[in-house]
Amino acid sequence: MRTKTLRRVALTTASVLTLGLSLAACASGGGSSSGGGTADDLEAALEKGGTITYWSWTPSAEAQVAAFEKAYPKVDVKLVNAGTNTDEYTKLQNAITAGSGAPDVAQVEYYAIPQFALSDSLVDLASYGFGDLEDQYSAGPWSSVDIDGKIYGLPQDSGPMAMFYNKTVFDQYGIAVPTTYDEYVAAAEKLHAADPSKYITNDTGDSGFTTSMIWQAGGQPFTADGTDVTIDLQDDGSKKWADSWNRLVEGDLLATTPGWSDEWYKALGDGTIATLLTGAWMPGVLESSVPQASGDWAVAPMPTYDGTPVTAENGGGGQVVLKQSKNQALAAAFLKWLNSDPESIKVFLESGGFPATTADLESPEFLAQTPEYFGGQAINEVLVDASKNVPTGWHYLPYQVYANSIFADTVGQAYKNGTDLNDGLQTWQDQLVDYGNQQGFTVNK
Amino acid sequence: MSAIATPEPAAGAAQARKPRKRVPYVRQQKPTEGRRVKKSILLTIVMAIFVIYSVVPLIWLIVNATKDQGDLFSSFGLWFGSDFNLFQNIADTLTYRNGIFVQWFGNTLLYVVVGAGGATLLATLAGYGLAKFNFPGRRAVFAVVLGAVAVPGTALAVPTFLMFSQLGLTNTPWAVILPSLISPFGLYLIWTYAVDAVPTEILEAARMDGASEFRTFFTISLRLLSPGIVTVLLFAVVATWNNYFLPLIMLSEPTWYPLTVGLSQWSSQATGVAAQPIYNLVITGALLTIVPIVVAFLFLQRYWQSGLSAGSVKQ
Amino acid sequence: MASVTLTQSRPMRRNRKDWRGWGFVGPFMIVFLAVLVAPVVYAIVLTLFRQQLVGGSGFVGLENYALLFQDPKFWESLFRVTLFLVVQVPIMLILSLLAALAIDSARLHGTGFFRIAIFLPYAVPGVVAALIWGFIYGNQFGLTGSINDLLGADILQPFSSDWILASIGNIVTWEFMGYNMLIFYAALKVIPADLYEAAEIDGAGQFRIISGIKLPALRGSIVIATIFSIIGSFQLFNEPNLLKALAPNVISSYFTPNMYAYNLSFAGQQFNYSATVAIVMGIITAVIAYIVQLRGSRQEVR
* Tens digits of residue pLDDT in A131-165: 999 999 998 899 999 988 899 999 999 999 999 99
B54:C121 CB<8 A:
yes
Which residues of chain A from 320 to 379 reach within 8 Å of chain B, CB to CB?
351-353
Mean pLDDT of A172-192: 96
Rounded distance between C-alpha atoms, residue A24 and residue A26, angstroms: 5
| Residue of A13, A258, A412 with shortest CB distance to C38 | A13
Mutate to test the interface with C, among A198, A406, A431 (most CBs of C within 10 A): A406
Chain C residue with Cα closest to A13: C38
For A58-87, what is the mean pLDDT?
Answer: 93
Are A112 and A21 within 8 A, CB to CB?
no
Topology match between the domains A35-158+315-361 and A161-312+372-444: yes
CATH class of A161-312+372-444: alpha beta
C24, B129: Cβ pair inside 8 Å? yes
A137, A138, A144, A149: CA torsion to nearest 10: 60
Domains contained in chain C, number:
2
A-C CB pairs within 8 A amount to 101
Q: Which residues of B sit within 8 Å Cβ distance of A?
A: 3, 69-70, 72-74, 136-140, 144, 161-163, 165-166, 168, 170-171, 249, 252-254, 265, 268-277, 279
Domain-located, residue C97: yes
Confidence class of residue B306 from pLDDT cuts 50, 70 and 90? low
Mean pLDDT of the residues in chain C: 86
Interface contact flag, A20 B140, Cβ < 8 Å: no
Q: pLDDT above 90 covers what percent of chain A?
A: 80
- Tell me whether residue C34 is in a domain: yes
Burial, C62: exposed, middle or buried (Cβ in 10 Å; 0-12, 13-18, 19+)? exposed
Residue range B134-152: mean pLDDT, rounded: 79
Sequence-distant (6+) residues with CB within 8 A of C263 are A405, C253, C254
Spelled out in words, what is the top-level CATH class assigned to the domain A35-158+315-361? alpha beta
Residue type, A226: G
Q: Are residues C183 and B268, on separate chains, in Cβ contact within 8 Å?
A: no
- Find all residues with CB under 8 Å of A419, minimum gap 6, and list them: A249, A250, A413
Integer CA distances (angstroms), A160 to A284, A393, B21, B272, in order: 14, 15, 75, 15
pLDDT band at C16 (very low <50, low <70, confident <90, very high): low
Distances (CA, A) of A273 to A202, A266, A268: 6, 9, 6
pLDDT score for B305: 66
Q: Sorting pLDDT into bands at 50, 70 and 90, what band is B304?
A: low
Per-residue pLDDT band for B7 (boundaries 50, 70, 90) equals: very low
d(CA B5, CA B151): 13
Q: What are the domain boundaries of chain B?
A: 98-312
Per-residue pLDDT averaged across A328-353, rounded?
94
Least confident window among A105-109, B24-28, B208-212, C31-35: B24-28
pLDDT of residue B2: 32
* A102 pLDDT higher than 80: yes
Provide mean pLDDT across the span B295-315: 66
User: C76 CA to chain A: closest CA distance, Å?
Assistant: 13
pLDDT in tens, A251-280: 999 998 899 988 899 899 999 999 999 999
pLDDT averaged over every residue in chain A: 90
Quick: pLDDT tens for A359-375.
999 999 999 999 999 99
Q: For B156-173, what is the mean pLDDT?
A: 86
Last residue of a domain, one of C34, C61, C88: C61
Hey, are the CB atoms on B294 and C123 less than 8 Å from each other?
A: yes
Give the DSSP H/E element, type plus range, for residue B283: helix B279-312
CA C215/CA B120 separation, integer angstroms? 31
Residue B62 has pLDDT above 60, yes or no: yes
The answer to which of B63-72, B198-207, B208-217, B292-301 has the lowest mean pLDDT is B292-301
User: How confident is the model over C111-140, as a mean pLDDT?
Assistant: 87
Q: What is the mean pLDDT of residues A93-113?
A: 92
Residue B29 scores a pLDDT above 50: no
Cα B273 from Cα A315, distance rounded (Å): 7
User: Among partner residues C55, C140, C250, which is closest to A416 by beta-carbon distance?
Assistant: C250
Residue C3 placed within a domain: no
Domain boundary among C8, C33, C61: C61
Residue A16 touches partner B, C-beta closer than 8 Å: no
- The values of phi and psi at residue A251, to 5°, are -90, 10
Q: Quote the minimal CA–CA distance from C80 to chain B in Å.
A: 16
- A17 — pLDDT class (breaks 50, 70, 90): very low
Partners of C253 on chain A (C-beta within 8 Å) are 405-406, 408-409
Chain A residue with minimal CA distance to C160?
Answer: A416
What pLDDT sits at residue B309?
63
pLDDT above 70 (res B33): no
CA B254 to CA B263: how far, in whole Å? 11
Chain A CB contacts of B269 below 8 Å: 57, 84
Mark whether C57 and C76 lie in a shared domain.
no
Q: Which of residues 124-153 of B touch C (CB under 8 A)?
A: 125-126, 128-139, 141-142, 144-153
The partner residue sitting opposite B133, judged by closest CB among C9, C36, C113, is: C9
B273 contacts A157? CB cut-off 8 A:
yes
Chain A, residues 222-261, CB within 8 A of chain B, namely 260-261
The per-residue pLDDT for B311 is 54
C188 in a structural domain: yes
Among the partner residues C43, C196, C224, nearest to B31 by beta-carbon distance? C196
The alpha carbon of residue B98 is apart from the nearest alpha carbon of chain C, in Å, by: 23
Contact C268 A435 (CB under 8 A): yes
| CA dist., res. A56 & res. A62, Å (int) | 9
A94 to chain C: closest CA residue: C266
Give the distance from residue B230's alpha carbon to the nearest chain A alpha carbon, in angstroms. Answer: 31
* Chain C residues with beta carbon closer than 8 angstroms to that of B271: 245
Interface test with A, best of C36, C40, C41, C77 (most A CBs within 10 A): C41
Q: How confident is the model at residue C290 (pLDDT cuts 50, 70, 90)?
A: confident
Nearest residue on chain B to C206, alpha-carbon basis: B37
| Angle between helix A421-438 and helix A236-250 axes, rounded to 10 deg | 130
My answer on whether C143 and C241 are in the same domain is yes
Question: Do residue C55 and residue C83 come from a single domain?
Answer: no
Of A41, A46, A78, nearest to A62 by C-alpha is A78
Closest to C35 measured CA to CA, from B179, A64, A69, A386: B179
Taking the CA of residue A368 as centre, how many other CA atoms within 13 Å lie in the half-sphere pointing to its CB?
Answer: 3
Residues from chain C contacting residue A94 (CB–CB below 8 Å): 266
C66 within some domain: no
Identify the pLDDT of residue A79: 95
Q: A193 in contact with B at a CB cutoff of 8 Å? A: no
Closest-CA distance, C183 to chain B, in angstroms, reads 7
Which residue range forms the structural domain that includes residue C145? 71-301
- CA of C245 to nearest chain A CA: how many angstroms apart? 7
User: With 90 as the cut, is the pLDDT of residue C276 above it?
Assistant: yes
In this structure, are C196 and C53 located in the same domain?
no
**C243 lies in the same domain as C152:** yes
Q: In which region does residue B67 sit, left (phi positive, over 0), alpha (psi from -120 to 50) or beta (all else)?
A: beta
For A291-307, what is the mean pLDDT?
Answer: 95
**Nearest beta carbon to residue B136 from set A2, A84, A315:** A2
Q: What is the mean pLDDT of residues C96-115?
A: 88
Question: Comparing A261 with B192, which gets the higher pLDDT?
Answer: A261
User: Does residue C93 have a pLDDT over 70?
Assistant: yes
Out of A66-80, B80-94, B142-156, B165-179, least confident range: B142-156
The domain locations on chain A are: 35-158+315-361, 161-312+372-444
B30: closest CA of chain A, how far (Å): 43
Closest CA to C234 of C251, C259, C211, C252: C259
Highest mean pLDDT of the ranges A370-384, B191-205, C116-130, C236-250 = A370-384
For residues C45 and C75, membership in a common domain is answered with no
Rounded average pLDDT over A5-15: 43
* Same-domain check for residues C33 and C87: no
Per-residue confidence (pLDDT) for residue B308, from 0 to 100: 66
| C5 in a structural domain | no
Residue B16 has pLDDT above 60, yes or no: no
- B59 contacts chain C (CB < 8 A): no
Range with lowest mean pLDDT among A35-39, B7-11, C182-186, C240-244: B7-11
The whole-number average pLDDT for the span B95-112 is 94
Q: Are C10 and B134 in contact (CB under 8 A)?
A: yes
- Whether A285 sits inside 8 A of B275 (CB atoms) is yes
Answer whether A266 sits within 8 Å of C140, measured CB to CB.
yes
For the domain spanning B98-312, the CATH number is 1.10.3720.10
- Residue B294: predicted pLDDT: 86
User: Minimal Cα–Cα distance from C282 to chain B, Å?
Assistant: 4
Selecting from B74, B252, B275 the residue whose C-beta is nearest the C-beta of A95 gives B252
User: With 60 as the cut, is the pLDDT of residue A18 above it?
Assistant: no
User: Distance between CA atoms of B160 and B153, rounded to whole angstroms?
Assistant: 10
Q: Is A413 on the interface with B (CB under 8 A)?
A: no
pLDDT at C2: 39
Residues making up chain A, counted from first to last: 445
